[in-house]
Chain A
Amino acid sequence: MVGERYAFTDPYEVRLYQYDASPETALPDAVVIPGSAEEVAQVARICAEEGVPIVARSGASSLCGGTVPVEGGVVITFARMDHILEIDLENLRAVVEPGVVNLALSQVLRPRGFYYVPDPSSQGACTIGGNVGTNAGGPHTLLYGVTVNHVTGLEVALTTGELLQLGPGKASELSGYDLTGLLCGSEGTMAIVTKIWVRLTPVPPVSKTLLAVFDDVTTASNAVSTVIASGILPAAIEMMDHLSIQAVEAASHAGYPLDAGAVLLLEVDGIAEVAGDVARRMAECCRAEGAREVRLARDEAERQALWKGRKGAFSAMGRLSPDFYVMDGVVPRTRLPATLDAIGKISERTGFKICNVFHAGDGNLHPLVLFDGFKEGEYEQVLRIGDEILKLCADQGGSITGEHGIGLEKRENIRYVFSDQDLSVMDQVRRVFDPGLRMNPGKVFPAAGGEAKPAVRMPAGKTTGRAGPGDEIWV
């Protein structure tokens, strides 16, 4: 149907599609690279009729096993559906295929004065389709929101082989249930997205970026609250702790101070007449909370270097440890100090080093547990630590995932935040779209009768997740 060239089942060839950026792997039975929405819909229908699982995948930068075909079946990948179909500046919309790389869209738009706001750190590799699947975030969600806030319409393929165009598209609203919003972040468990209408935003004339240096994470956390309470609306507030700084500076040479206990990267967008002033106010807030140094990026090159260091933080961890395990917990901003303190205690107790690189403005933590997967038993221990940290975030009134998704990894941990009744309603909703449960099975929902415990296992001979300086892994 899609042509012999674009479908294969050879065990050697499909091996490339067994993993994403998470530690888990599973072999698909077949890989299909459709060239059109109609082909996607036909594949979905045939899979459903044959009772074969179907998993959509593009950039495969999922950190939670979201695209690992854990029950085998067919992997659909969007390598050929990577076209920007329309840019309509008059109506502030673009229409794209799911395989369009996030950064590619903004690169096309920026010279024309607009951009697509969500900028996950993996934006050079992740696709808009994948972003819709996980409702991806990034550093700038603090002011601008996440993927769903910028998606106004979807074309989707259902297991019936139907193609549906949902949502208002170029309009701002449409009566009926907001299925577009519902499908954002559903991790490919209800339908496969084949086309996306996204909102375009004027590029801020100026972005000012500050680096604030603190002696410890608690004072840095307090500075975050002070900035927010002052009435400033920052575009981003990112934090890195001492250990992270070592790795990031070694990799990026952006000028992060190696002796700092924590640094904040704060950014404000605005017009030239205002942004500098607001940046100064943010700097004052940081100093008032005890920042020992606050630096303004002098030019765009310095600003980009700081951001490159931050966005490449995960890849840089390879300098500290052969392996790391990353989490994506969220806590209310005011609970940051208590949560970071508790994570520090877990590190002390277990002897595993834990780095913290995260979106402080949103309270979205990314603790990284450093370990060596070739040491007997370490990986299992690390999973238990991860589980403990997610429980901690949930107990602080937060969530177990802010932007990476539940995927395979956290399907049991979801019970920390939702009751059986909550999950049952979600399951009923899923079955309306996919009664046979063929869409990305084994994800999001706990296994029947499962208990809250780590779900992933380290496969033998596993090398993914061992990040060297040359590898690219983002958060």
Chain B
Amino acid sequence: MKAQVSRVLPGQEIGVDEQRELAVDGLTPARVMRPQSPQELAEGLQALSATSAAAVVHGGDTQIGLGSRPARYDVALSTTRLSRLLEHEPADLTCRAEAGMRVGDLQAILRAHGQRLPLDPPRPEKATLGGMVAANSSGLSRARYGGVRDWVIGIAVAYPNGVIARAGGKVVKNVAGYDLMKLHTGALGTLGVIVELNFKVQTTPEADDTMLGHFDQRGDALAAGRWLARQYLAPAAITVLDREVLQECGLTADWRWTLAIRLEGYRREVEIARDQAAAAVRDHAGRVESEPAPAPARFWESVRDWTLGQDEAVLLYATTSLSGLSPVIDVAGSDSRVMAEPASGTAYVRVAPGAAVGLLDRMRGAVKGSGQVVVRRAPTASKDELDIFGPPPPGFALMRELKRTLDPNAILNPGRFVGGI
């Protein structure tokens, strides 16, 4: 029966090994599509629509665990062959690339011109630009530089009806037409498949520095971070890590909590910001680490990649107001690992599957409607017992209607997004 279905599905048949590689939450596809052009991808979507087969869209698969278990999964649709840089005019501080280009490849090209995209999703050597946008994966500097939604200035999307449509453009300031870039950011590919993206880019700051502060009390570390976030010379990244997380990221400390601060800017600015950060640590009963952090770049990469979680653990993600974060983390017991970003009011909490359901309930209770807690990653066996996104967000009826309108046969990542979209 399976084989018979395969014959009418678009895409190439795949062997068992590849099936396993492309498995999502325990479901395996019968076929794979690896289009080499946006046009071919759009035609593939049309073919999928004709058979009402469901596709899960794959980029670098760094965030493929995000979302609920797919309701159906017949075909894996990979964007990784759409990997070309299409335009980069350094003097315009803009670029245009195909969605399957690796984030790290783009950053390497920009770096050669003293520029960067100030988005830093985990595993940039694997993660694709399209996946970064679809997963709204901004990295650790969101509070200072903005997130994905602030840097995408144009988009081309292939829709299930086979149409490729654009929005935005290649200039940094543009209000012509609707901002559909926003609609597809964080949409997990449920409305269309991103095939091309235009970005603003940034001149890489002249200087950077890393500072660590150690604390007995998590509340003090968070308060120091929150204070820094409200200063004009706010750090580029502020994270609060528990001792075990710090160790997993390659550093050790005797203290229970560490505030890791990354400073960026003109050289003199960074020096002054460092003094400001040191004062903030001391004013909040912390101790400034006197030794310079060894290999700070690698440390920050580890912190960033830590936010992907682990195979056999559940990773919860809380987003609240800056002042609302503490109470949400407070409900996590000593058996959970915590990494918080006080400047954006977000925190990752990693917990064993057995304790996840209870902790998720407690954290959602603590958020009290002024934010949310979602499951960022969970082992397949735990997925069905966890309410991944929690209650549907306000405006859900409109979201469902948008989905029905743009993907009427629900062929794109069905069941993965909020409220079962």
Count residues on chain B whose CB falls below 8 Å from chain A CBs. 83
A401 with B174, Cβ < 8 A, contacts A177-B187, A185-B179, A233-B203 known? yes
Contacts of A238 in B (CB 8 A): none
Q: Does A348 contact B (CB under 8 A)?
A: no
Distance, CA A398 to CA B198, complexed state (A): 13
Contacts of A334 in B (CB 8 A): 89, 91-92
Whether B399 lies near A177 (C-beta < 8 A) is: yes
Q: Smallest Cβ distance from B163 to chain A, in angstroms?
A: 5
Instruction: Using CB atoms, name the residue of chain A closest to B401.
Output: A432
Distance, CA A88 to CA B370, complexed state (A): 14
Which residues of chain A (119-170) have a CB below 8 Å from chain B? 134-135, 137, 141-142, 145-146, 148-149, 158, 164-166, 168-170
Instruction: Using CB atoms, name the residue of chain B closest to A445.
Output: B177
Q: Does B14 contact A (CB under 8 A)?
A: no
Contacts of B47 in A (CB 8 A): none
Instruction: Using CB atoms, name the residue of chain A closest to B157.
Output: A425
Instruction: Using CB atoms, name the residue of chain B closest to A185.
Output: B175
Distance, CA A240 to CA B179, complexed state (A): 30
A164 with B394, Cβ < 8 A, contacts A90-B323, A178-B149, A363-B171 known? yes
A134 with B183, Cβ < 8 A, contacts A202-B230, A202-B231, A334-B91 known? no
Contacts of B374 in A (CB 8 A): 175
Q: Which of A88, A173, A418 contacts B319 (CB 8 A)?
A: A173
Interface of B is mostly: loop
Q: Does B206 contact A (CB under 8 A)?
A: yes
Q: Which of A26-34, A77-85, A268-276, A313-321 contacts B (4 or more CB under 8 A)?
A: A268-276
Q: Smallest Cβ distance from A160 to chain B, in angstroms?
A: 9
Q: Which of B164, B165, B179, B392 contacts A184 (CB 8 A)?
A: B179
Instruction: Using CB atoms, name the residue of chain B closest to A64.
Output: B175
Instruction: Using CB atoms, name the residue of chain B closest to A397.
Output: B170
Whether A229 lies near B91 (C-beta < 8 A) is: yes
Contacts of A89 in B (CB 8 A): 230
Q: Which of A181, A202, A399 contacts B149 (CB 8 A)?
A: A181
Q: Smallest Cβ distance from A405 to chain B, in angstroms?
A: 6
Chain A positions 218 through 234: 1 when the CB is less than 8 Å from some CB of chain B, otherwise 0 = 00000001001101110
Instruction: Using CB atoms, name the residue of chain A closest to B190.
Output: A177
Which residues of chain B (167-210) have a CB below 8 Å from chain A? 167, 169-183, 185-187, 191, 202-204, 206
Q: Which of A254-262, A325-333, A367-375 contacts B (4 or more CB under 8 A)?
A: A325-333
Q: Does A419 contact B (CB under 8 A)?
A: yes
Chain B positions 81 through 92: 1 when the CB is less than 8 Å from some CB of chain A, otherwise 0 = 000000001111
Q: Does B371 contact A (CB under 8 A)?
A: yes
Whether A148 lies near B406 (C-beta < 8 A) is: no
Q: Does B418 contact A (CB under 8 A)?
A: yes
A425 with B185, Cβ < 8 A, contacts A185-B179, A397-B171, A418-B166 known? no
Known A-B contacts: A231-B114, A398-B169, A405-B175. Give 6 more (CB < 8 A): A172-B143, A174-B319, A180-B182, A182-B178, A425-B167, A426-B167
- Residues in chain B within 8 A of chain A (CB atoms): 89-94, 114, 136, 142-143, 146-147, 149-150, 157, 159, 163-167, 169-183, 185-187, 191, 202-204, 206, 226, 229-234, 265-266, 268-269, 272, 319-324, 344-346, 370-372, 374, 389, 392-396, 398-399, 401-402, 405-406, 417-418
Closest 8 A/B residue pairs (Cβ): A181-B182, A170-B321, A176-B393, A402-B173, A171-B371, A399-B174, A425-B165, A202-B232
